[in-house]
Amino acid sequence: MKTLVCLINCRLEIFAVHFDVDVAFCTRYRTVTFPTSRCCLDAWAMKLWAKPNVRFEYPKPPLHSSTTHHQNPWLPRAAAPRPTRLRHSLTAESTNATTFHGICYVVGDNIDTDQIIPAEYLTLVPSNPAEYEKLGSYALIGLPASYETRFIEPNEMKTKYSIVIGGDNFGCGSSREHAPVALGAAGVAAVVAESYARIFFRNSVATGEIYPLESEVRICEECKTGDVVTIELAESRLINHTTGKEYKLKPIGDAGPVIEAGGIFAYARKTGMIPSQSC
Amino acid sequence: MTEKILARASEKPQLSPGENIWINVDTLMTHDVFGPGSIGIFKREFGENAKVWDREKVVIIPDHYIFTTDERANRNVDILRDFCLEQNIKYFYDIKDLSDFKVNPDYKGVCHVALAQEGHCRPGEVLLGTDSHTCTAGAFGQFATGIGNTDAGFVLGTGKLLLKVPPTLLFVMDGEMPDYLLVKDLILQIIGEISVSGATYKSMEFVGTTVESLNMEERMTLCNMVVEAGGKNGVVSADSTTFKYLEDKTSVPYEPVYSDEQARFLSEYRFDISKLEPLVAKPHSPDNRALARECKDVKIDRVFIGYCTGGKTEDFMAAAKVFLNSDKKVKVPTFLVPAAQKSWMDLFSIPVPGSGGKTCSQIFEEAGCDTPANPSCSACMGRPKDTYARMNKPMVCLSTANRNFPGRMGHKEGQIYLASPYTAAAPALTGYVTDPREFLH
């Protein structure tokens, strides 16, 4: 069955499809449920497979060795678990239940897209799967030397920071969609910034690569790179486990329906603006 | 004005800021950097055999990574060409022979200047482009803004897009433009005033006697940097200057749109132009405004005159005037990058007033500048490493471009000062940031 071949990383879905059962994957920090009917899962899996920029990873089993960055034994030594997230065919139920958990990388104000992905890497075409991965490996490589901690270690393709915390006007400058794509490809699940530049925000919403969330206060001044954080979308809050503080996030606003539908194309299909794709 | 243009494009009688609407797009532009990605998404979502919504409304202009040996960059132009052949796209300004841009009859140069010169910018219309500086076309009294690959892929298939109506900021500029100021100084003044996020999600409308006295290229420079203030789009009312410019460039009928008398604006800013002085934007932000005369201790290593913001014919004529008045040679390497084929040709053909018949190129040569380069985006955005004049090691550079964020022109530790063509030419002669009034009186 095609589904079995495609989802090579996700044995649990294969199990679900084969035995036609519900799968509720719970960890201490997140709960995500999958569609229950086989047909629904097939269609969902086909959509995932058909879209080269949708990837699906389960977190590695927790290891007990401590790390220098955080004391939480649930977090693995290697690349941080990419928070499970369904793109392009989210049901309302799973969106409300989505949480993100990981370690954060903190940047300042006016991080422009040249710093997120310098122009010399723009020859990589994001809709090409191999180039998509390569793009991810260059995310935030344009940050100046004042950022002592690198976002991605040399010779690595992914980041261990699944949440980026920024200041004002995140993503300003060039319209390059490579910016949110590079962050998503690198393993970022969500960005929490004080405010966003318009085109970057649009691109994040349209592609579904990262959740662009806004904070009420300047979280970038209260969090440090390496802090362990959890974002609870339903409650619109961010919890910094390292400092013990909680912060309110702004509601997603008008972009909400587009994000919930799964991006501009899914939204357009849902509202009848363009015909549905055949499964 | 923006609300009225969008109302017409969405077939609604009236709109208010904050409304989310589906609009009909009149023209979609893309280039070699974001075109392949947009095409990939178009095919993925609409099917391998899908056709674009209107083959005459898509304009494809390779301009960013052209004169390079980088294989992927050249492959991207091939991707555009294949798509244009397959879809029978009417407007594709192709380039095949990289050794000499002049032998490519269709190649035009930088997309924003080419769009205007080829008559694709028309008052009252909606122009979307996969480039943040698409807002340049607002100079023609149309709604023009930048979008990403996914949005562009959507427009390719449907000819529509979901947009939110922006509130408008009004900028009133009155007074006669002093002869040492150029439009770049005006927009740097504005961005310095409201900051790089001062116009986020808003429209910037430019009115006043000064604005009315500007020619089309100057209006384009004004609207070009709207995005540097975070602006969604910029507009200047279409008038006789606009209509005259368009006379020989397009035969497509258009209907200009104008703001109502009782139009509401979010805020209003007024400037008395006669009181302004030449400015620079210091590293590393376009809103880091400073008077040129206060930066005279800053030693510079290079000067760039060119790009979509400062590489049009008018810009070069202005720079040539400074060199002519001084009659000296440049002290630092000075690179000239015309934005378009036409600008390049004008450099070599149009005499500079007061020079006794010399062309810009002759004046530049006598002053010791580098030979004018192939028209393209060149080092403005530090593309592939073999780009002409890319900043490959840290240095201080004065540029007529529109951005100076860290690493913009190549090296992360490079320092870029933004300035008008006058304020870029003067420092070329002194080796330090210089107020151009030293050479203009």
User: Which residue matches tokens 């995140």?
Assistant: A170
Secondary structure element (H or E) that encloses residue B269, with its range: strand B267-272
Q: Mutate which of A122, A134, A205, A258 to disrupt the B interface (most B C-beta within 10 Å)? A: A122
Give yes or no for A46 touching B (CB within 8 A).
Answer: no
CB atoms within 10 A of CB B328: 14
Alpha carbon of residue A82 to chain centroid:
7
Asked whether the beta carbons of B154 and B162 are under 8 A apart, the reply is no
Average predicted confidence (pLDDT) for chain B? 90
Domains of chain B: 1-270 (3.30.499.10), 279-438 (3.30.499.10)
Q: Is A198 in the B-facing interface, judged by CB distances under 8 Å?
A: yes
What's the gap in Å between the CA of A143 and the closest CA on chain B? 8
Res. B339: pLDDT tops 60: yes
Q: How many residues does chain B have?
A: 441
Task: Among B164, B196, B405, select the one facing A115 at the smallest CB separation.
Answer: B405
Domain spans of chain A, in order of start? 99-250
Say which residue the tokens 């004018």 belong to: B372
Helix H or strand E encompassing A240 = strand A237-240
Sign of CA dihedral B101, B103, B104, B108: positive
The string over A213-231, giving b where at least 16 C-beta atoms fall within 10 Å of a residue's C-beta and e elsewhere, is: bbbeebbbeebebbbbbbb
Reported pTM? 0.82
| CB within 8 Å: B405 and A114 | yes
| Domain A99-250 of CATH type 3.40.50.150 | no
Task: List chain B residues with CB under 8 Å of A128.
Answer: 40
Dist. CA A105–CA A170, nearest whole Å: 14
**What's the pLDDT at A278?**
54
Q: What pLDDT is recorded for position B160?
A: 93
| Residue B261 banded pLDDT, cuts 50, 70, 90 | confident
Closest by CA to A105, choosing from A192, A196, A185, A211, is: A192
* d(CA B6, nearest CA chain A) in Å: 18
Contact A202 B147 (CB under 8 A): yes
- Asked if A240 reaches chain B (Cβ–Cβ under 8 Å), the answer is no
| Predicted pLDDT at A82 | 34
**Distance linking the first and last C-alpha atoms of chain A:** 15
Distance (Å) from the alpha carbon of B76 to chain A's nearest alpha carbon: 7
| Block residue for tokens 């080092």 | B379
Q: Is the pLDDT of residue B46 over 50?
A: yes
Strand order in the sheet with A190-193: A211-214, A190-193, A161-165, A99-106, A228-232, A237-240, A245-248
* pLDDT of res. B66: 83
Percent of chain B residues topping a pLDDT of 90? 67
Which helix (DSSP H) or strand (DSSP E) does residue A129 occupy? Answer: helix A129-137
A112/B403 Cβ within 8 A: yes
Are the beta carbons of A254 and B160 separated by less than 8 Å?
no
SS3 B163: strand
What does the pLDDT average to over B328-336? 91
Of the ranges A89-103, B7-21, B92-106, the best mean pLDDT one: B7-21
Of B150, B196, B385, the CB nearest to A264: B150
Spell out which residues of chain B touch residue A118, defining contact as CB-CB under 8 Å. 382, 407
**Mean pLDDT along residues B350-360:** 90
B383-399 pLDDT per residue, tens: 777 777 777 788 899 99
pLDDT for the residue numbered A57: 34
Q: pLDDT tens digit string along B272-317?
A: 999 999 999 999 899 999 999 999 899 999 999 988 888 889 899 9
Residue type, B150: T
Span B177-235, pLDDT tens digits? 999 999 999 999 999 999 999 999 999 999 999 999 999 999 999 999 999 999 999 99
State what percent of residues in chain B have pLDDT above 70: 100
Residue B260 or residue B389, greater confidence: B260
Size of interface A-B (CB pairs under 8 A): 151
Instruction: Judge whether B99 is closer than 8 Å to chain A, CB to CB.
Output: no
User: What's the pLDDT score for residue A95?
Assistant: 35
Judge whether B128 is closer than 8 Å to chain A, CB to CB. Answer: no
pLDDT score, position B421 = 92
In tens digits, chain A (279 residues) has pLDDT values of 433 344 443 444 334 434 444 333 333 333 333 333 333 333 333 333 333 333 333 333 333 333 333 333 332 333 333 333 333 333 333 334 588 999 999 999 999 999 999 988 988 888 888 999 999 999 999 998 899 999 999 889 999 999 999 999 999 998 999 999 999 999 999 999 999 999 999 999 998 888 999 999 999 999 999 999 999 988 899 999 999 999 999 988 788 888 878 788 988 998 888 887 754
Whether residue A199 contacts residue B226, with contact meaning beta carbons closer than 8 Å, is answered with: no
Taking an 8 Å cut-off on Cβ atoms, the answer to whether A277 and B45 are in contact is: yes
Interior/surface letters A99-128, b for 16+ CB within 10 angstroms, e for the rest: bbbbbbbbbebbbbbbbbbbbbbbbbbbbb
| Whether A268 contacts chain B with CB within 8 A | yes
What is the pLDDT, as a whole number, of residue A260? 78
